[in-house]
């Protein structure tokens, strides 16, 4: 099989592993427009530190797996398209696509071939060839495999801009329902701890770290997922968590389970951004008695309706923390608003709109110079 044929199998196989950029509302960014037809499903956008979006090649190193996770299209024994790159051929193929101007970075994951450490060696070898032989200085996101050794994690972190460990579930109990032969604490969670420790020891450029959860197949609540996410943000410095809604795959043990509605993924992203960027705690999120987010309304709006409807926020006096509680005001908008406020009092919605605030969402929850501006949104602005 030639390398491009392998890529046509191994690129789209990463559809189960989100690594691309999402909007603040949790929608995945569409892939670049100009991707050649034979590379569709292989190229997406990632965001670099600082926010620049770059097209990246997303691929597995191999789809041959020794494990048998219950939901997975590539579980051992299932009839699935299998291919394996050797590190050299994948590095050369990537370089060709890079030289054609199609990609500026790579997300490299893998099924487990042989063992976690053996597969990690191949992922590392690919990144080493790119960095050392081809002097590639662009974006590399490397997956850390279950059971990878600590020194492998360290080497991967020296080569990559981002590393990730797929936790898949928020606890051992839930993981056992998805992947009975994966060990939550020793094979997965411990690697995230190592990443946090190594990041603390590193000087200069430090790679960011992420994780992924499969949502909806293990009966977990949003509360469980968001507690795990909050812990990872707060204690292990994770840059973000990805939520991949379960989709049943034919000829797997979980094929009869219903798919997870996309809207649940979106609500989880929105809630996780509230935890990471807006100063919310899990306890403040508008969760049902069963521990789930409402699907019909975004969590920040639901919180504001409960807490700000009768006590609106005066935008000329509120601190950053209070401004961030208002729907339509994000971290950048809050900073711009605070800066503008140093020079003048803000009196109308047009001024807020020019600062990047979504006034239609903010208006019911704010005061402008002591007055509710809600009716102003009907005026042309
Ligand atoms: S380790 Fe599990 S989830 Fe990963 S490819 Fe193998 S079977 Fe699939």
Question: Does 314 lie in the same domain as 269?
Answer: no
Cα(72) to ligand 1 centroid in Å equals: 6
Judge whether 273 and 301 are in contact, CB under 8 Å: no
- The boundaries of the domain holding residue 369 are 308-378
pLDDT in tens, the chain (381 residues): 899 999 999 988 887 777 666 666 666 677 777 778 888 888 888 877 777 888 999 999 999 999 999 999 999 999 999 999 999 999 999 999 999 999 999 999 999 999 999 999 999 999 999 999 999 999 999 999 999 999 999 999 999 999 999 999 999 999 999 999 999 999 999 999 999 999 999 988 899 999 999 999 999 999 999 999 999 999 999 999 999 999 999 999 999 999 999 999 999 999 999 999 999 999 999 999 999 999 999 999 999 999 998 899 999 999 999 999 999 999 999 999 999 999 999 999 999 999 999 999 999 999 999 988 855 454 443
Question: Does 159 lie in the same domain as 67?
Answer: yes
- Residue with CA at minimum distance from ligand 1 atom 4: 111
- Say if 366 falls within a structural domain: yes
Number of structural domains in the chain: 2
Q: Which atom of ligand 1 is nearest to the CA of 111?
A: 5
| Separation of alpha carbons 309 and 223, rounded Å | 25
- CB neighbour burial string for 171-192, b if at least 16 within 10 angstroms, e if fewer: beebbbebbeebebeebbbbbb
Among residues 358, 364, 289, 367, which one has the least CA distance to residue 328? Answer: 358
Cα(335) to ligand 1 centroid in Å equals: 43
Question: Does 364 lie in the same domain as 270?
Answer: no
Cα(326) to ligand 1 centroid in Å equals: 41
Domain boundary among 280, 299, 332: 280
- Say if 45 falls within a structural domain: yes
| Ligand 1 pocket at CB < 6 A | 65, 67-69, 72, 74-75, 111-112, 179
- To test the ligand 1 pocket, which listed residue (10, 67, 181) has its Cβ within 8 A of the most ligand atoms? 67
- Say if 87 falls within a structural domain: yes
Judge whether 308 and 365 are in contact, CB under 8 Å: yes
- Residue 92 is part of a domain; what is its CATH number? 3.20.20.70
Question: Does 72 lie in the same domain as 25?
Answer: yes
Question: Does 316 lie in the same domain as 372?
Answer: yes
């Amino acid at each position: 099989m030639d390398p491009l044929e392998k890529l046509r199998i191994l690129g789209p196989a990463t559809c189960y592993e989100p690594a691309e950029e999402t909007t603040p509302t949790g929608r995945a960014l569409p892939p670049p427009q100009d991707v050649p037809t034979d590379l569709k499903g292989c190229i997406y956008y990632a965001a670099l530190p600082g926010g620049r979006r770059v097209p990246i090649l997303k691929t597995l190193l191999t789809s041959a797996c020794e494990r048998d996770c219950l939901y997975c299209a590539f579980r051992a024994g299932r009839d699935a398209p299998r291919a394996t790159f050797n590190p050299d051929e994948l590095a050369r193929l990537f370089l060709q696509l890079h030289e054609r101007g199609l990609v500026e970075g790579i997300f490299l994951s893998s099924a487990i071939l042989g063992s976690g450490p053996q597969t990690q060696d191949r992922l590392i070898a690919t990144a080493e060839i790119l960095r050392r032989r081809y002097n590639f200085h662009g974006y590399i996101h490397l997956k850390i495999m279950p059971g990878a050794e600590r020194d492998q994690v360290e080497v991967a972190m020296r080569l990559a801009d981002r590393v990730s460990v797929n936790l898949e579930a928020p606890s051992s109990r839930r993981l056992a329902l998805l992947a009975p032969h994966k060990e939550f604490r020793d094979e997965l969670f411990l690697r995230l701890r190592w990443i946090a420790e190594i990041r603390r020891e590193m000087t200069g450029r430090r790679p960011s770290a992420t994780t992924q959860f499969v949502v909806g197949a293990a009966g977990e609540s949003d509360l469980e997922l968001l507690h795990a996410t909050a812990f990872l943000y707060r204690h292990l410095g994770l840059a973000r968590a990805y939520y991949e809604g379960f989709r049943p795959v034919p000829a797997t043990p979980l094929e009869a389970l219903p798919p997870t509605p996309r809207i649940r993924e979106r609500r989880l992203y929105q809630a996780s951004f509230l935890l990471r960027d807006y100063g919310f705690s899990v306890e403040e999120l508008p969760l049902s008695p069963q521990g789930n987010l409402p699907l019909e309304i975004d969590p920040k709006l639901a919180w504001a309706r409960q807490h700000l409807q009768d006590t609106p926020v005066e935008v000329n006096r509120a601190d950053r923390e209070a401004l961030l509680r208002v729907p339509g005001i994000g971290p950048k908008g809050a900073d711009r608003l605070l800066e503008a406020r140093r020079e003048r009092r803000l009196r109308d919605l047009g001024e807020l709109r020019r600062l990047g605030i979504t006034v239609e969402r903010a208006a019911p929850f704010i005061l402008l110079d002591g007055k509710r501006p809600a009716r102003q949104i009907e005026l042309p602005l």
